[in-house]
Amino acid sequence: MQIAIIGYGNMGSGIAKRAVVVGYSVVLAGRDLAAAKKAAERVGALAATPAEAVAGAELVVLATPYAAAANALVAAGDLNNRVLIDISNPLKPDFSGLTIGQTTSAGEEIAKLARGARVVKAFNTVFAPIFSEGPDLKGGTVPVFYAGDDAAAKESVRQFAERLGFATIDAGGLVNARMLEPLGMLNITLGYALGGGTSTAPTWLRRA
């Protein structure tokens, strides 16, 4: 199965590295092909233009800042029927909060932009270093909360996340990105502003 990842920064490279290790064929893409090639070499992936990467992929991960999503999606070309994973937290530039929320979410706005794509919100509560350090922390396996409106797309994302070694929690429809993004913000606040570090993640406990 081929995974296209648009954005080769902390998250794009981290997801790529882990996906390659567990046997996926990964193509990294971004706005600078030479930089994508360098990042791809570091993690054992291939590099291509966004449109080329998307054309051959079953799963597409959008790993750019939310503010860059519109431009990145234009460069990605035809996303019709593709499973598109939105991992973003729509952060203010000073990380003090989110730029949108409550009445919409980055996930829903990205779904409007990515015409025909089957958008699933996922991984936004997972810090980038977890991908290289591994998802098994004291107290359990880091969960990936995933939300979307297409059952088959959600199932693909669940399988992808679990193959990467994560636990998964079905968070319902894409509208629930409105709650997952503030949860991502809380994670960032605990990890950075309040000094908890990035080897942490939110989870959901149940008695049985």
By CB under 6 A, tell whether 176 contacts ligand NAP. no
Query: How many of the other CB atoms lie within 10 Å of CB of 61?
Result: 26
When the beta carbons of 143 and 184 are compared against ligand NAP, the nearer one is 184
- Sites for ligand NAP among residues 38-57 (CB under 6 A): none
Of 12, 135, 143, 148, the one binding ligand NAP (CB under 6 A) is: 12
- Stretch near ligand NAP under the rule CB under 6 A, chosen from 40-48, 81-89, 111-119, 159-167: 81-89
When the beta carbons of 7 and 143 are compared against ligand NAP, the nearer one is 7
Of 16, 43, 57, 87, the one binding ligand NAP (CB under 6 A) is: 87
Of 79, 110, 127, 180, the one binding ligand NAP (CB under 6 A) is: 127
Residue 190: CB minimum distance to ligand NAP, A = 13
- In the numeric block, which tokens belong to residue 146? 């995933």
Q: Which residues contribute to the site for ligand NAP (CB under 6 A)?
A: 6-12, 30-32, 35, 63-66, 68, 71-72, 75, 87-89, 91, 124, 126-128, 184
